[in-house]
Amino acid sequence: MFGFLKKEAFKILAPADGELIPLAEVPDEVFSQKVMGDGFAVIPANGRVVAPISGTAVSVFPTGHAVGIETKDGVECIVHIGLDTVELNGEGFQPLIGQGEKVKAGQPILTFDKDLFEGKGYNLTTMVVFPSGYEHAFEFGHKTVAAGEQVV
């Protein structure tokens, strides 16, 4: 009867088309050891990245390599594209949202030049980590996912 008062279940979506992998398999200890929080990663098939959760873009890094999103309930999520891609200083990244902007889960948030980055030898594994506000065990095997597909 009062269905409109129900709290919607928290959903987390894949940020990109590609192969979902456990964070422990990311070849960077900051992520594999969960220093920045627990989460998961996707080896991207292309250069399109979508928001894994709905909320506010609390940080859109000037280098374009990462975006922070916070839900209205205080759950923080960081989407980090590639390893050491901060070194590119924004080259090849095109943010599609600005800091302070509201985003919906599944909305495109940035694009990147996959061919350029691979040509320069960068690992493009894209991490989704939750530094605070979300306690959940992310236990995934390898699986092909589509951008915007629900993973949790």
- Bridge partners (DSSP) listed for residue 67: 60, 79
Q: Where are any strands of DSSP class E within the chain?
A: 18-22, 38-44, 48-50, 55-60, 66-70, 76-81, 93-95, 102-103, 108-112, 126-132, 143-145
Query: Which residues form the catalytic set?
Result: 80
pLDDT at 5 over 50: no
1 pLDDT tier (thresholds 50, 70, 90): very low
Average pLDDT of the chain is: 92
Cα–Cα distances (Å) from 136 to 10, 50, 130, 143, in that order, read 11, 21, 9, 19
Give the C-alpha separation, 36 to 93, whole Å.
22
Q: Is the pLDDT of residue 129 over 80?
A: yes
- What homologous superfamily is domain 13-135 in, according to CATH? Glucose Permease (Domain IIA) (2.70.70.10)
Residue 104: Cβ within 10 Å count = 10
**pTM (two decimals):** 0.91
Q: What percent of the chain has pLDDT over 90?
A: 86
DSSP 40: E
State pLDDT tens for residues 34-73.
Answer: 999 999 999 999 999 999 999 999 999 999 999 999 999 9
Q: How far apart are CA 143 and CA 22, in angstroms?
A: 10
Token pair in block for residue 47: 């250069």
Which residue, among 67, 47, 45, has the nearest Cα to 56 in the 3D structure?
67
pLDDT band of residue 115 (cuts 50, 70, 90) is very high
